[in-house]
Amino acid sequence: MTTAGPAPAPEQDKGGLRTALAGLTTRGRSFLAAGVAAAICAYVLGQSDLLRVGLLLAVLPLVCATVLYRTRYRVAGSRRLSPARVPAGSEARVHLRMDNVSRLPTGLLMLQDRVPYVLGPRPRFVLDRVEAGGRREVSYRVRSDLRGRYPLGPLQLRLTDPFGMCELTRSFSTFDTLTVIPRVEALPPVRLSGEAKGYGDGRQRSLALAGEDDVIPRGYRRGDDLRRVHWRSTARYGELMVRREEQPQRARCTVLLDTRAVAYLGAGPDSAFEWAVSGAASMLVHMLERGYSVRLLTDTGSSVPGEGADGFAGSSQESADAAGLMMDTLAVVDHSDGMSLSSAYDVLRGGNEGLLVAFLGDLDEEQAGLIGRMRRRSGGAIAFLLDSETWTRESGEVPAAGGESAGEESLRLLHEAGWTALGVPRGASLTDLWRQADRQRAGLVSGLGTEGRS
């Protein structure tokens, strides 16, 4: 980004003079007021020497303002974020670079970058005289406990004269964006038993999915490898036939995030909703690393823009790009106005979704029943339930009540529907809950004798 301070056009002289006078500092205004007062006193008292002093005092700040306003500085500035995507609670460093692209040296420059208040105080730097063709580099740190996308900039230069009579601010036009993503917790690989066949070891071998009517061999299709031509069948049917071969089919995982505003109480980085968002982010990254095709789904039925029908594939560079897109989506996800999870259920009812991992808020009996029916569409289902009553009670806001709570009732209904469901206490570690889900799942299917790897 580049900025310059050109002299005003003739028709803008009046406005330019007004801008220059508005930039007078306290010292400049004091000199101007003292000069005017001295001139008035000289006129009243008839003292010509006092009049000269008054004119000197009044003219000095005006001359400084005019010269500063008409100063032609050609300065190029750039900003670099390291990194541009940072987890909540971690620091990022912003590097600023100023280049003097003119043939004249600059005067004293005051550099200021505009940042949102949640990232910290506004950084200010004083740059000494920059020689022609020279550069200066400075840096500062930003940190936020709240996820989101925060604009940095525009960069501002405050120009001042040697006497400190006037200051003018000129801004660059561009800005950058810092993305604060949810905290991601590294999860250990566990063995989740009882999943549907093909969902557990990341990959399986199966026949090419071409429909029930497609028998071996099948007709040639554009793009098929000619080395797969089955000549005996070609001669028999009178058309080019090819052999079907086994192709890898990637195991799938859907991460469901409940964002309903009515399902959570409280706000801030330690709230139940932020724990759910962080948990969903950790699960997505973990499943991508394990080789799953991963899809992020919210209660509104929406998913990450750009993902395919089977979600994002987890392989090498594609895995990193997919994780970045999902983290960008979770960085700005907010509460929805919906009251039901029916939209997510409609998305899941289309077929077998493989492993289903849900992060849920408060559930009434109707929503718990709806979640229970989602289990039928998946090979394995794990739910982490964040009951608002439990979170507020553990924080001391609500006293413990006798009898079965709404969260315990929801857990019971999910267990009856075949879910591996766990309540999430305040401040719980997802790593511990993930291992606990493995043990609970192993106990539920100990007599089935089927195991998969997640």
For residues 415 and 421, give the distance between their C-alpha atoms in angstroms, rounded to a whole number: 6
For residues 367 and 364, give the distance between their C-alpha atoms in angstroms, rounded to a whole number: 5
pLDDT of residue 227: 75
Find the distance separating the first CA and the last CA of the chain, reported in whole Å: 47
Considering only residues 319 and 357, tell me which one the structure prediction assigns the higher pLDDT: 357
Placement of tokens 């006293």 in the chain: 399
pLDDT of residue 302: 82
Considering only residues 177 and 12, tell me which one the structure prediction assigns the higher pLDDT: 177
Report, as an integer, the average pLDDT of 276-301. 92
Sign of CA dihedral 383, 388, 393, 394: positive
Report, as an integer, the average pLDDT of 305-320. 58
Placement of tokens 């077929």 in the chain: 351
- H helices within 70-221, ranges in order? none
pLDDT of residue 167: 87
Report, as an integer, the average pLDDT of 128-136. 90
Where is 194: in which H helix or E strand? none
pLDDT of residue 87: 95
pLDDT of residue 71: 75
Dihedral of the alpha carbons of 19, 25, 29, 35, in degrees to the nearest 10: -100
Considering only residues 36 and 303, tell me which one the structure prediction assigns the higher pLDDT: 36
Report, as an integer, the average pLDDT of 48-66. 91
Render the burial of 299-316: b for 16+ CB within 10 Å, e for the rest.
bbebbbeebeebbbbbee
Cα–Cα distance list, 435 to 34, 307, 432 (Å)? 77, 29, 5
Is 60 exceeded by the pLDDT of residue 247? no
- Residues 87 and 269 sit within 8 Å (Cβ to Cβ): no
Q: Which of 187, 356, 360, 186 is closest to 276 using CA atoms? A: 360
Is 60 exceeded by the pLDDT of residue 445? no
pLDDT of residue 312: 62
Sign of CA dihedral 18, 22, 28, 29: positive
- For 206-230, write each residue's pLDDT tens digit: 333 333 334 467 777 776 777 778 8
Phi and psi of 291, rounded to 5°? 95, 10
Phi and psi of 316, rounded to 5°? 45, -125
pLDDT bin (cut points 50, 70, 90) of residue 245 is low
pLDDT of residue 37: 94
Considering only residues 410 and 192, tell me which one the structure prediction assigns the higher pLDDT: 410
For residues 316 and 357, give the distance between their C-alpha atoms in angstroms, rounded to a whole number: 23
Is 90 exceeded by the pLDDT of residue 431? yes
Report, as an integer, the average pLDDT of 35-55. 92
